[in-house]
Amino acid sequence: AQSVTQLDSQVPVFEEAPVELRCNYSSSVSVYLFWYVQYPNQGLQLLLKYLSGSTLVKGINGFEAEFNKSQTSFHLRKPSVHISDTAEYFCAVSATMNSGGYQKVTFGTGTKLQVIP
């Protein structure tokens, strides 16, 4: 079985400061990893994803994440946040299920990023 842990439910940060949102996963097989963002009253949208290749992945809006297999982590980072980055961020992992052979995506519980002016 696969699982995703986002330990921080809320992260306050001052505008123009750097931020890191943590994500750890557990899975017995190879995984694909995703970060999604949800703005108020909207659905989720993809920020970035890791499928293979370079472990440093760059996404939209200046965000990046690094896949660390040994630490089973996929932390999201931004060097300088803006007020418009205030939103909820979800980490997700995709792995092959033991039964059926198809892969499913499991979402974390989300981290609310609050950017303070």
Partner 1 sequence: ETGVTQTPRHLVMGMTNKKSLKCEQHLGHNAMYWYKQSAKKPLELMFVYNFKEQTENNSVPSRFSPECPNSSHLFLHLHTLQPEDSALYLCASSQESWDTQYFGPGTRLTVL
Contacts to partner 1 by CB under 8 A = 32, 34, 36, 41-46, 49, 90, 94-96, 100, 102-105, 107-110
Name which of 36 and 81 has its Cβ closer to partner 1: 36
Phi-psi region of 61 (alpha: psi -120 to 50; beta: other; left: phi over 0): left
Helices (H) and strands (E) in the chain, counts: 0, 12
Whichever of 70 and 102 has its CB closer to partner 1, that residue is 102
Instruction: Tell me how far, at minimum, the Cβ of 102 lies from partner 1, in Å.
Output: 5
The residue type of 16 is E
